[in-house]
Amino acid sequence: MSANRLSVSRRAAALGALALAGSLFAAAPAQADGSPTGAPSAASTPKNDGAKGICKRLPRTEDRITKALNRLNGDATVVGSTARLQQRVTDAKAAGHTEIETYLTNRLTARKALVTTLQARQGDLKSVTTWCAAHNDGATK
């Protein structure tokens, strides 16, 4: 009896999957934008470079980068700083926890790379600030 139920439930699942697949195939032409290749239409391509939005978010972006750099460059008492992570690497090495030391060393490498990336972005934002001021916060080109 349980074998019969199992085959009925499998049959029902297969029919459900088939019905779902059929409905997806049937709906696909209705959702198409008329282009045979499925390429994005002109309505979905960007109309500008988003300068107005970038200029609008600029103060918040600068604050976030400055806050992150202050945290990363903090001393060993600051949670999230490279100095604190370096101290954890040193402690793991002293305790003989080789695997932990390797893991933390890789995290430290990534965190130091993040500092470099954020410093580069901070420099880029200085020139963006100048551009936004000269172009009415992105309203003019």
36-80: pLDDT as tens digits:
555 656 567 767 888 899 999 999 999 999 999 999 999 999 999
Contact criterion met (CB below 8 Å) for 89 and 135: no
pLDDT of 17 reads: 65
Tokens of 140: 């003019």
Does the pTM surpass 0.75? The reply is no
pLDDT of 28 reads: 53
E strand or H helix that includes residue 21: helix 2-31
Q: Compare 11 and 118 and report the one with higher pLDDT.
A: 118
Q: What is the mean pLDDT of the chain?
A: 83
Q: What is the CA radius of gyration of the chain?
A: 28
What is the distance between the alpha carbons of residues 15 and 97, in angstroms, rounded to a whole number?
Answer: 55
Contacts of 65 (CB under 8 A, 6+ apart): 118, 121, 122, 125
